[in-house]
Structure 1
Amino acid sequence: MNYRHAFHAGNFADLHKHTILLAILSALQGESEALAVIDTHAGAGAYDLSGEMARRSGEAQAGIFQLKAAADAPAVFGPLLQAVLKINSGQPGDLYPGSPLLIARALRKGDRYAGCELRPDDAILLSKTLAPYANAKALEADGFSTAAVQAGRGGRAFVLIDPPFERPDDYARIAETSRAVLKRASDAVLAIWLPLKDLETFDAFLRAMETVTGDLLVAELRLRPLTDPMKMNGSAMVMIGAPASVDTAAVEAGDWLASRLGEPGGRSRVWRA
């Protein structure tokens, strides 16, 4: 795959995804003695926003740097902002933590994390990122086929699915993986990230997921109307088994991102299906 998350690290979609991810993780740690967190497409784990790929896209400048400079950012962004501050040793630096580092740093003694990454170069970087954390490991593996196996190895399963959407079957594989995880661990929680380009693709995916479970929480963020399918016009988090407290966090994060980073016609919506 050619996709590299370093081009997009720290963009508006990361702010949406990571804020909701940390809210889910915190809520689950209040409910469960031990968690087994599985990240199907982990990437390198951390990113330098001053690097060539990030500078070429410029997406972080319209994302995390806008959030850090905002005086009116709601408290829901606090855990993410603290994590960004920590990776930069308390200074206003250019490093940004991906989901593997955000999760690894939040693990309790009884929790575990497995991050899957197929790109050999990113898998090596992921291993280095996770090296200081004894209960976090990197797997050079297909996360879709690995998720259900990992979910059945003890602890309540929490699965993050965040593929690059370069393959036409990614949407179908998400539904298949979700079904397999729930068959192996019925109390599993899943958080699925999606790009929003056109309404037809999004609606079709939601219809497919409704055949998997009747317990969906959808957090939809549109920065602009879904009129140009060649652009990423927004992002969404589709969650299964999300604790009730996550609804409020998703509303607060989405509303601020839509109003501060979006264009006229942008909006945020959170609902349970």
Structure 2
Amino acid sequence: MNYRHSFHAGNFADLVKHAGLLGLLRALAPRGPLTVVDTHAGAGLYDLDGDASRSKEAEAGVLRLMQADALPGPLAQLQAAVRALNPDGRTRWYPGSPRLVAAAPGVARYVGFELNPPVAEALTEALADFPMATAEAGDGYAAAPTVCQAPGLLLIDPPFERPDDYLRAVDCAAETRRLRPGVVVAIWTPLKDLETFDGFLRGLAKAGLADVLVVEARLRPLTNPMKMNGCTLTLIGAPATLEPELQAVTDWVVDTLGDPGGRARVWRP
């Protein structure tokens, strides 16, 4: 799967991922100053008048969010963050996870890794206003386990352009939890077909990773494995108190943006 994020910024998967991330950070804040490490940080800030205007996915994502009222807490947080970037009222700029994390209360340090040099340069620029945030050019899979600190969060959000992304995501999560048991892990994945995702879950179990929570937003039946039919955010070590809030997020996304036959659930394998 080729997932160039500038084309897909602000789509339904971003809403699930970023609302889930904001809810998780709020739930973890009482544990103390947080260190957040991002293995695939991306550019950090996206111009919806650029590449995203060609895919038009933001029209069925963040633009619908910006018109909504009475949102679940994490989606309301995301809506407020987008409004803050667009004071003229027109939704042009969309924040990636680096900007959202760097601006979140309770985060003392953010480290975002990016391998693509032009994207890494854009990430550095996007984080310029946040002295506690660092952009690193490098392999986040390899570096993250030793950079992570507890209390903290590891976000694994690869583009799934490589056939080993699922395997490396599992290995990175397992090594991080081995070295830093107090670090919570969040892994975003596309949902194209059940066999691929089931294989990913089997990999987590084989690696000895427990306390797994799956946030699943399935926008359409899984009948076409060539399409991104939904997405998941798989959490390891997340507070159980977060589950109702995450369920409300997935319910809104599927009910508002999905097709008949969609499915929203938060569950434990």
Whether 1:168 aligns to 2:166 is no
Look up the match of 1:15. 15
In the TM superposition, residue 111 of structure 1 has moved relative to its aligned partner by 1.2
Look up the match of 2:108. 111
In the TM superposition, residue 122 of structure 1 has moved relative to its aligned partner by 0.5
Q: Any idea what the Cα deviations from partners look like across 1:101-152, whole Å, max 9, x if unmatched?
A: 00001154x710000001100100000111111110000111100110101x
Structure 1 stretches (4+) deviating beyond 4 angstroms?
A: none
In the TM superposition, residue 208 of structure 1 has moved relative to its aligned partner by 1.0
In the TM superposition, residue 94 of structure 1 has moved relative to its aligned partner by 0.9
In the TM superposition, residue 207 of structure 1 has moved relative to its aligned partner by 1.2
Opposite residue 34 of structure 1, the aligned amino acid is P
Residue 103 of structure 2: SS of its match in structure 1?
helix
**Structure 1: distance between partners of 2:80 and 2:54:** 26
Equivalent position to 1:85, from 73, 83, 87: 83
**Structure 2: distance between partners of 1:194 and 1:4:** 14
Q: Any idea what the Cα deviations from partners look like across 1:26-61, whole Å, max 9, x if unmatched?
A: 11112x22211000000000101111x101111000
Of 1-10 and 255-264, the range deviating more from structure 2: 1-10
The equivalences for 1:56-71 within 5 A come to 56-71=54-69
Look up the match of 1:259. 255
In the TM superposition, residue 91 of structure 1 has moved relative to its aligned partner by 2.5
Opposite residue 56 of structure 2, the aligned amino acid is G
- Asked if the contact 2:2–2:159 (Cα under 8 Å) also holds between the matched residues in 1, the reply is no
- Asked if the contact 2:218–2:263 (Cα under 8 Å) also holds between the matched residues in 1, the reply is yes
In the TM superposition, residue 245 of structure 1 has moved relative to its aligned partner by 2.5
Opposite residue 71 of structure 2, the aligned amino acid is A
Q: Measured at CA, do residues 87 and 209 of structure 1 come closer, stay the same or move farther in structure 2, by a change above 3 Å?
A: same
Opposite residue 10 of structure 1, the aligned amino acid is G
Look up the match of 1:268. 264
The equivalences for 1:170-209 within 5 A come to 170-209=165-204
Equivalent position to 2:119, from 119, 122, 139: 122
**Structure 1: distance between partners of 2:94 and 2:13:** 13
**Structure 2: distance between partners of 1:104 and 1:74:** 22
Superposition TM-score, scaled by structure 1 size? 0.94
Look up the match of 2:235. 239
Look up the match of 1:135. 132
Q: Measured at CA, do residues 190 and 25 of structure 1 come closer, stay the same or move farther in structure 2, by a change above 3 Å?
A: same
In the TM superposition, residue 74 of structure 1 has moved relative to its aligned partner by 3.2
Opposite residue 100 of structure 2, the aligned amino acid is L
**Structure 2: distance between partners of 1:162 and 1:71:** 29
Contiguous gaps of at least 5 residues in structure 2: none
- Asked if the contact 1:113–1:137 (Cα under 8 Å) also holds between the matched residues in 2, the reply is yes
**Structure 2: distance between partners of 1:263 and 1:33:** 41
Q: Measured at CA, do residues 23 and 64 of structure 1 come closer, stay the same or move farther in structure 2, by a change above 3 Å?
A: same
**Structure 2: distance between partners of 1:124 and 1:2:** 21
Equivalent position to 2:147, from 150, 169, 180: 150
Opposite residue 192 of structure 1, the aligned amino acid is I
Opposite residue 121 of structure 1, the aligned amino acid is P
- Asked if the contact 1:157–1:185 (Cα under 8 Å) also holds between the matched residues in 2, the reply is no
In the TM superposition, residue 73 of structure 1 has moved relative to its aligned partner by 3.2
Look up the match of 1:210. 205
**Structure 1: distance between partners of 2:184 and 2:73:** 24
Q: Measured at CA, do residues 3 and 16 of structure 1 come closer, stay the same or move farther in structure 2, by a change above 3 Å?
A: closer
Opposite residue 119 of structure 1, the aligned amino acid is N
Whether 1:48 aligns to 2:47 is yes
Q: Measured at CA, do residues 236 and 2 of structure 1 come closer, stay the same or move farther in structure 2, by a change above 3 Å?
A: closer
- Asked if the contact 2:73–2:245 (Cα under 8 Å) also holds between the matched residues in 1, the reply is no
